[in-house]
Amino acid sequence: MNYPNNIQNMINDFQFLTEWEDRYMHVIDMGKSLPSLDESEKIESNKVKGCVSQVWLISDKTNDPDPTISFRGDSDAHIVKGLVAITLQIFSDQKATEILKLNATEILKELGLDEHLSLQRANGLKAMIARIKDYALQALN
């Protein structure tokens, strides 16, 4: 698959980690490096529904016909904050049309995360991705 550099680099990093425990720790480390949102941003309208842990997602976009959208996010759980970081690395700073084309399920499979996430975490991740795709759709209208 031909992914943007930021996604390909992340895939390469994960492929280097052959053990699930190493990948798990890498996800947590990615979450630790994600800047926390300000408490004033952790409001109901920024909350992602469908996540067991609390997850907040904020988007900013340029004023172009096909805007570039950047995302910021946070969670109250370490592993989930890592999943937020991965999701943001996949989608942030992309054009809205590119966001809609990206197949996050395939990317997560390439990262080796798809078969190790609990059903609840996988559903939360799907909710986050759906929210991001929804932002992209709204940005184009």
Tell me which residues are annotated as active site. Answer: 51
Counting Cα atoms < 13 Å in the Cβ hemisphere of 117 gives: 20
Counts for the chain of helices (H) and strands (E), in that order: 6, 3
Q: What is the residue-wise DSSP string for 53-73?
A: S-EEEEEEE-SSSS-EEEEEE
Residue 118 to residue 45: CA distance in whole angstroms: 26
Residue 97 to residue 133: CA distance in whole angstroms: 10
- 51 burial (CB, 10 Å; 0-12 / 13-18 / 19+) is buried
